[in-house]
Amino acid sequence: MTILTLVRHGETDWNRDGRVQGSTDIPLNDTGRQQAREAGRALREVIDADAATVVASSDLLRAAETADLIAHELGADEPRRYRGLRERAYGEAEGMTTTDFRARWGDWFTADVPGAETWDDLRRRALETLRRTVQDARRATSPAAPALVVVAHGALIREVIRHATGGELPIPGERLPNGSAHTFLMERDRLQLLSYVAAPL
């Protein structure tokens, strides 16, 4: 079994301005860097000091830099990047404000946006990549079981949480804050949600 902690990347200017990022490669801002450092310090308090800690991330700048800052706080090796952990591609919606998105396409979860990745495809990609990430971490730390920290993106993490909870977020209608951590127990292909952090929309 592996303890897996999914962390949402720190804030970007597009997060601050309420813009849809998706696969667009936007870097952290100073607030986001501070959130990443704080997340790393918080994780240092809860991860077993004797555990072999591995940090991994999406290859998009905002997740990669968050992971680098967390790894520094944890004294972990350089994070490995996974393209499969990227945020959902939002097609024509990328760069739009969330207000304009809703005015044009309606509900966030049922909108039919040209060029957007489907929620099912996102969930499948996320789970496949997380399994590979866990396997790589276990090989790197064998025989010890790793404490695995993975930095990814809000929509991807929500789909992993929904998978682990049978389809629903523990608190419907809430968002995942930048820098928030969500912990799972992973046994083979089974995910159990151990802790969850959310904030009002």
Q: Among all residues, which ones are annotated catalytic? A: 9, 87
Phi, psi of 54 (to 5 degrees): -120, 135
Strands 146-152 and 2-8: parallel
Left (φ > 0), alpha (ψ -120 to 50) or beta: where does 197 sit?
beta
Residue 9 contacts residue 150 (beta carbons within 8 Å): no
Angle separating helix axes 30-46 and 61-74, nearest 10 degrees: 40
